[in-house]
Amino acid sequence: MHVHVYVETSSKLKTVTKAVHDHGCEVKQLAPKVYEVKVHDPNGDAEDEVTEYMNEAGITAFVSYENPLDAGKPKAFDLLICGNLLSIVVTGGKNGSKGGNIESGLPRETCPSCGSPDCCHSCDQSQMENVGDDDDNPCDGEENDDVAGRLAYNGFVDAIESIALAHACAGIKVDDRKYIEGLNSALEAAGNNL
Ligand SMILES: [Zn+2]
């Protein structure tokens, strides 16, 4: 897989190209002192690799996955978690003050009577359906155990979204394949355990 990293340095295009050329990278100058380096990255550590190439060539440089020319612009991450879209938007200033929001969240489990994810046997429908509660009756409302499990699961989904958003704001590459695999496993585990 090829990825792009961004190199900020006062060194010339020729010098930067020479430093990474033997490693199979391509360099493009985007602006004065800003270069885009295309690098083959099977391990997900392109940032470190390119930093190393620069150091070896004696070039003082700052290497990042983030294009410094995009600093301050909103950045969207669309993650496919267990077949559902989690869309995160990070907005932020150059001074490091970043914020963000969940544009499109993961699905919650909902009350079968009223359809609300937060309902705790409080809606009229579930109250009525649970009158003379009969465990063998499939037309009954949701059982108490199920309510607790549903609310716990939804709380877990809240937590996963909050962590992913915080990580995205902190500059972690949340659309990295390995990161997404991690979220998938966490959500699957939550679904199995509750
Ligand atoms: Zn309800």
Domain membership of residue 53 as a residue range = 2-69
Going from the Cα of 126 to the center of ligand 1, the distance in angstroms, rounded, reads 5
Going from the Cα of 39 to the center of ligand 1, the distance in angstroms, rounded, reads 52
Q: For 11-52, write each residue's pLDDT tens digit.
A: 999 999 999 999 999 999 999 999 999 998 888 899 999 999
Going from the Cα of 121 to the center of ligand 1, the distance in angstroms, rounded, reads 5
HSE-CB of 96 using CA atoms within 13 angstroms:
1
Q: Are 79 and 175 in contact (CB under 8 A)?
A: yes
Going from the Cα of 115 to the center of ligand 1, the distance in angstroms, rounded, reads 6
Same domain? For 52 and 85 the reply is no
Over 50: is that where the pLDDT of 82 sits?
yes
Going from the Cα of 1 to the center of ligand 1, the distance in angstroms, rounded, reads 47
Q: What is the DSSP letter of 129?
A: H
Total of domains in the chain: 2
Same domain? For 65 and 105 the reply is no
Q: What is the DSSP letter of 44?
A: S
- For residue 8, the domain's CATH number is 3.30.70.100
This prediction's pTM: 0.64
Same domain? For 81 and 105 the reply is yes
Going from the Cα of 145 to the center of ligand 1, the distance in angstroms, rounded, reads 14
Inter-CA distances, 179 with 47, 163, 188, Å? 16, 12, 14
Over 60: is that where the pLDDT of 137 sits?
no
Same domain? For 19 and 115 the reply is no
Cα 38 from Cα 20, distance rounded (Å): 10
For the record, the structure tokens of 158 come out as 């809240």
Same domain? For 106 and 43 the reply is no
- End of a domain among 69, 98, 120? 69
Describe the crossing of helices 144-169 and 177-193 by its angle, rounded to 10 degrees.
160
